Chains A and B, each alone.
Chain A
Amino acid sequence: MANLPATNQLLFSAFVQRSVAGYPSIAFVSFEKTSGKSTAFRAFLHAVEGITAGITSLGADPANGKEAAIDGHLHFVKPGTVIATARQCLPYCEPTRTILTDTSVLTPLGEVILFRAESAGRVFLAGPSIIADAINIKKNLLEFGAEFVLMDGAGARISPANPRLSDGIVLCANLAPDIAQTQEDLQYQINLLQTRPLVDERLREICQQKQPAQFSFALVDQNYGTHLPYNGETISQLIETVEQQHQTIRAMYFSGALTDRQAEGLVKYAETNPALVKKCTLIVEDPTKLMIQPRAIASIQASPLSLSVLYPIQLLGIAVNSSTAGSGYDRITDFLKRLSTDCHLPVFDVHGGFFFEIPD
Chain B
Amino acid sequence: MKFLTKAQQHNIGFDFVMAHLTPLTCYGKERKDAIDWYSAAEKPVLLRKLQQLQAFKIFFDKYPEDIAALTNILTRFKEIRGIIRQINAQVEPLDEVELFQLKNFAIDCQHLWQAVEEFQLTLLDHQLYSLHDTVTLLNPDDQITRTFAIDSRYATALEQIRVAKTEIEHQINAQPEPDKQLLNLHTQLTEQERKAEYQVCQNLTDRLRISVPEVANNITYIAELDFLIAKATLADAFGAVAPQFLDTDTIKIQEAVNPWVNDILNKDGKSFTPLSLSLNQGANVLTGANMGGKTVALATLTLNILLAHCGLFVFCRSLSLPVLDFLFYLAHDYQSVTAGVSSFGAEVRQITRMIEQMGDGRGFAVVDEFARDTNPEEGQTMVRTLLRLCEKHNSFCLLSTHFSKIVERDMQHLQVVGLRNAPLETLSPVRAEKTVNHLQEMMDFTIEAVPWDNPAPKDAVRVAKLMGLPQEFLDLIDDETWENAFGNQTES
Contact = CB atoms under 8 A, between A and B. Distances in A.
Interface stretch (B142-150, B262-270, B367-375, B426-434): B142-150
B108 to A, nearest CB: 13
B149 A119 contact: no
Contacts of A98: 147-149
Interface in B366-389: none
Nearest to B170: A120
B101 interface: yes
A102 B148 CA distance: 11
Nearest to B193: A96
B166 A87 contact: no
B169 interface: yes
A143 to B, nearest CB: 12
Contacts of A119: 162, 165-166, 169
A113 B95 CA distance: 13
B162 A99 contact: no
B230 to A, nearest CB: 21
DSSP class of A's interface residues: helix, strand, loop or mixed? strand
Given A119-B162, A119-B169, A120-B169, A102 B97 contact: yes
B190 A94 contact: yes
Contacts, number: 42
B100 interface: yes
Contacts of B100: 99, 102
A100 to B, nearest CB: 5
Contact of A99 (B78, B97, B165): B97
DSSP class of B's interface residues: helix, strand, loop or mixed? helix
A108 to B, nearest CB: 17
Contacts of A266: none
Contacts of B146: 101
B448 interface: no
A121 B190 contact: yes
A257 interface: no
B169 A99 contact: no
Interface of B: 78, 95-97, 100-101, 146-149, 162, 165-166, 169, 172-173, 186-187, 190, 193-194
Interface in A77-125: 87, 90-91, 94, 96-102, 104, 113, 116, 118-121
Interface of A: 87, 90-91, 94, 96-102, 104, 113, 116, 118-121
A90 B96 contact: yes
Listed residue (A87, A100, A113) with the most chain B CB atoms within 10 angstroms of its CB: A100
A8 B20 CA distance: 63
A121 B95 CA distance: 20
Nearest to A95: B190
20 contacts: A90-B95, A90-B97, A96-B162, A96-B165, A97-B96, A97-B149, A98-B148, A99-B96, A99-B149, A101-B146, A102-B78, A102-B97, A102-B100, A102-B101, A116-B147, A118-B149, A119-B165, A119-B166, A119-B169, A120-B169
A86 B329 CA distance: 50
A92 to B, nearest CB: 11
Nearest to A99: B100
Contacts of B173: 120
Contacts of A87: 97
A87 B186 CA distance: 23
A121 B100 CA distance: 22
A158 to B, nearest CB: 32
User: What 9 pairs across the A-B complex have the smallest Cβ distances?
Assistant: A98-B149, A99-B100, A99-B148, A94-B190, A98-B147, A120-B169, A100-B147, A99-B96, A113-B97
B189 to A, nearest CB: 10
A255 B112 CA distance: 45
Given A96-B193, A99-B149, A120-B172, 20 more contacts: A87-B97, A90-B96, A91-B194, A96-B162, A96-B165, A97-B96, A97-B149, A98-B147, A98-B149, A99-B96, A99-B148, A101-B146, A101-B147, A102-B100, A102-B101, A113-B97, A116-B147, A118-B149, A119-B169, A120-B173
Contacts of B194: 91
